[in-house]
């Protein structure tokens, strides 16, 4: 699978669990960290976990496992590291506080329909 196809699967898995304000940011031209950030908001800490569990389940079906996971204890921000794609799922308060989109303001936003 291409990075873009994986990113689309991630987007769809978040959308399936009613993730809000899903953003795809292409940071690969600005950083060696990864190619894409996928950022989403959940309505509660419980939903943060449900969304990230669904992302993991959908990618596991494809034989793709995260390289790392952070935040499962607190559940107000969970990060899933898939190498070329990093998934950030926040509760509303944490997303507003950390403002990742503002930190990467110069990176292009990607429309999900252009990924496949």
Block mean pLDDT (10 aa), the chain, length 116: 97 98 96 96 95 98 97 89 98 94 94 89
Query: What order do you get walking across the sheet with 20-26 strand by strand?
Result: 20-26, 36-42, 85-91, 77-81, 68-70
Q: What is the pLDDT of residue 101?
A: 92
Q: What is the pLDDT of residue 73?
A: 80
Q: What is the pLDDT of residue 40?
A: 98
Q: In this structure, what token pair is assigned to residue 15?
A: 């959308």
Q: What is the pLDDT of residue 116?
A: 73
Domain ranges for the chain, please list them: 3-111
Q: What is the pLDDT of residue 75?
A: 82
Task: Say if domain 3-111 classifies as CATH 3.30.460.10.
Answer: yes
Q: For CA atoms 77, 13, 51, 83, give the dihedral sign.
A: negative
């Amino acid at each position: 699978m291409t990075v873009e196809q994986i990113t689309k699967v991630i987007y769809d898995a978040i959308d399936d669990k009613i993730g809000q304000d899903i953003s795809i940011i292409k940071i690969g031209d600005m950083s060696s960290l990864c190619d894409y950030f996928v950022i989403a908001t959940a309505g509660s800490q419980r939903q943060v976990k449900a969304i990230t569990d669904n992302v993991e389940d959908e990618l596991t079906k494809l034989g793709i496992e995260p390289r790392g996971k952070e935040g499962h204890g607190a559940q107000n921000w969970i990060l899933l590291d898939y190498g070329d794609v990093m998934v950030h799922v926040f509760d509303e308060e944490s997303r507003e506080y950390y403002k990742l989109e503002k930190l990467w303001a110069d990176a292009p936003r990607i429309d999900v329909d252009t990924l496949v």
